[in-house]
């Protein structure tokens, strides 16, 4: 087994996930997941099925690239290419902490491309919020993941886009307690076929995107 297993990140050139659509997607090792993530051992979709097996290999260092090689692959993507970072795992950095140096390198590699991701790393710790906001300003979209509409209001104060999980019967359009607009992911309502056709999560925007829990 390789050493420095936490440094392995994987890029699939073409996702086979029906929801994502045929775009490049990356996988981060499990060590990047923050301890506070509410999906842990509950509803985290990456802990189930084939994705969980792939994630296990990346996390053990059996599959994937060093950070340098990984960011080189991102840099080599075609101009304007949409791609998703961390279909499993989170931003670089162990647990709750964002590795600012690696995030800055990732943002540089993404120049001219349309990368996006989601994070459960807490913005109020380790200066994470400011680093995430800077990445968003520089074209790499990082959505802060909220656990409730109340939480979505709190996260919105950090100046980055927000997504939230909601019950399966949540209406398509709603508002947070503080009045921010919320729309359910258009793939879940049948309005688009995949992220590749939608890219709402990649765009700077005001509305909060809601994901209905199955
Ligand atoms: S809102 Fe669009 S880009 Fe975001 S998860 Fe849903 S389909 Fe994908």
Atom 4 of ligand 1 has which residue's CA nearest to it? 201
* pLDDT value for 89: 96
* pLDDT value for 30: 94
Task: For ligand 1, pick from 163, 186, 193, 204 the residue to mutate: most ligand atoms within 8 Å of CB.
Answer: 186
* pLDDT value for 1: 44
pTM, two decimal places: 0.95
- Do the Cβ atoms of 182 and 153 come closer than 8 Å? no
Task: For ligand 1, pick from 143, 196, 200 the residue to mutate: most ligand atoms within 8 Å of CB.
Answer: 200
Total count of residues recorded for the chain: 214
What is the count of structural domains for the chain? Answer: 1
CA atoms within 13 Å, Cβ hemisphere of 17 = 23
Atom 8 of ligand 1 has which residue's CA nearest to it? 195
User: Within a domain: residue 204?
Assistant: no
User: Within a domain: residue 107?
Assistant: yes
Q: Could you tell me the sign of the dihedral formed by the alpha carbons of 25, 90, 183, 107, in that order? A: negative
Domain span including residue 124: 10-165
CATH number reported for the structural domain that contains residue 148 in this entry? 3.40.50
Instruction: Find how far residue 60's CA is from the centre of its chain.
Output: 21
Atom 6 of ligand 1 has which residue's CA nearest to it? 185
User: Cα–Cα distances in Å, from 199 out to 138, 142, 154, 207?
Assistant: 17, 13, 24, 14
- Please state, in angstroms and rounded to a whole number, the distance separating the CA atoms of residues 71 and 1: 22
CA of 46 to the centre of ligand 1 (A): 17
CB distance 199 to ligand 1 below 6 Å: yes
Residue ranges for the chain with pLDDT beneath 70: 1-6
- Do the Cβ atoms of 11 and 24 come closer than 8 Å? yes
pLDDT tens readout for residues 101-152: 999 999 999 999 999 999 999 999 999 999 999 999 999 999 999 999 999 9
- Which of 35, 14, 36 is closest to 24 using CA atoms? 14
């Amino acid at each position: 087994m390789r050493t420095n297993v936490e440094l392995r990140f994987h890029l699939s050139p073409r996702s086979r996930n029906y929801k994502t659509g045929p775009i490049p997607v990356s996988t981060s090792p499990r060590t990047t997941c923050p301890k506070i993530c509410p999906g842990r051992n509950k509803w985290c979709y990456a802990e189930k099925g084939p994705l969980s097996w792939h994630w296990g290999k990346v996390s053990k260092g059996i599959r994937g690239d060093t950070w340098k090689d990984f960011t080189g692959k991102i840099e080599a993507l075609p101009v304007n290419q949409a791609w998703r970072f961390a279909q499993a795992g989170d931003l670089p950095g162990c647990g709750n902490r964002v590795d600012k140096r690696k995030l800055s390198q990732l943002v540089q590699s993404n120049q001219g491309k349309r990368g996006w991701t989601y994070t459960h790393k807490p913005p109020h710790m380790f200066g994470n919020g400011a680093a995430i906001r800077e990445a968003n300003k520089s074209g790499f979209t990082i959505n802060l993941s909220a656990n409730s509409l109340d939480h979505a209001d709190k996260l919105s104060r950090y100046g980055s886009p927000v997504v939230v999980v909601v019950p399966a019967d949540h209406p398509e359009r709603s508002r947070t307690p503080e009045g921010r607009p919320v729309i359910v992911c258009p793939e879940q309502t049948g309005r688009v076929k995949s992220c590749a056709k939608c890219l709402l999560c990649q765009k700077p925007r005001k509305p909060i995107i809601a994901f209905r829990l199955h």
